[in-house]
Amino acid sequence: MKSYNIWQVLTFLTLCLLTLVTTSCRTSRHANRPPFVLVIDAGHGGRDMGASGRKSHEKDLTIQTARRFSKLIRKNCKNVEVIMTRTDDEYVSLDDRAGMANFFNADLFMSIHANSARGWAEGTETFIHPSARGSRSERLARLIQIQYTYEAGRKNRGVKTANFAVLRKTRMPSILTEIGFISNKEEENYLKSKKGQKELARCLYNAFQQYYTEISH
């Protein structure tokens, strides 16, 4: 079995305690069910900066949005335990990200990234593994894209498939979402802003809440 760093174990235990004082997602009728385990993966970190814009790095934008998203879940979802693959600017390998989700028997894995292109590009897109067509992963991905479009006014580039390691190696419904193009000056400014981060975190939360409600019936 893969070993885990002490910070990973401590983070999990801390988040379990925090979950006890949060409030319910919409209703308390799921209170007697085992906790739903959500892994939020902020892409890149540490020596892995990800894509770079004019004034920012992907690793910083992803952790900022992930923190806001996790805060919404902890505040509003009583029966959901949140595990973050990283909480600071530190390097975590792709194997460890997927391994953490598998080790804790997560119910859902959501990876947050920022996109980049050599030419001009804009908008959001969410990826699932090619084998996940028609699955819960695809349903969540479509809910996320709807939220980006109608709640945040972002261009919808659609749901796509890719053989990304964190999608291939996780054993639960998994998505990887690109929240915008850091290579686009306007989108980079939006991704850096509190307004943009709050809107995107709210989009992810709204999509998760609808997904959670659907699968809980």
Can you give the CATH number for the domain in which 201 is found?
3.40.630.40
Residue 124 lies in a domain: yes
For residues 208 and 70, is the Cβ–Cβ distance under 8 A?
A: no
The total of structural domains in the chain comes to 1
pLDDT of residue 217: 80
Could you say which residues of the chain have pLDDT below 50?
A: 1-4, 6-7, 10-24, 27-30
Its pTM stands at 0.87
Q: How many CB atoms lie within 10 A of CB 214?
A: 12
Burial 68-85 (b: 16+ CB within 10 A, else e): bbbebbbeebbbbbbbbb
**Residues in a beta bridge with 52:** 57
Q: How many CB atoms lie within 10 A of CB 43?
A: 28
pLDDT of residue 8: 52
Residue 158 lies in a domain: yes
Residue 26 lies in a domain: no
Residue 30 lies in a domain: no
Residue 59 lies in a domain: yes
120 burial type by CB count under 10 A (0-12 exposed, 13-18 middle, 19+ buried)? exposed
- The domain of 101 spans 6-13+35-216
Residue 64 lies in a domain: yes
Residues marked active site are found at 178
Residue 21 lies in a domain: no
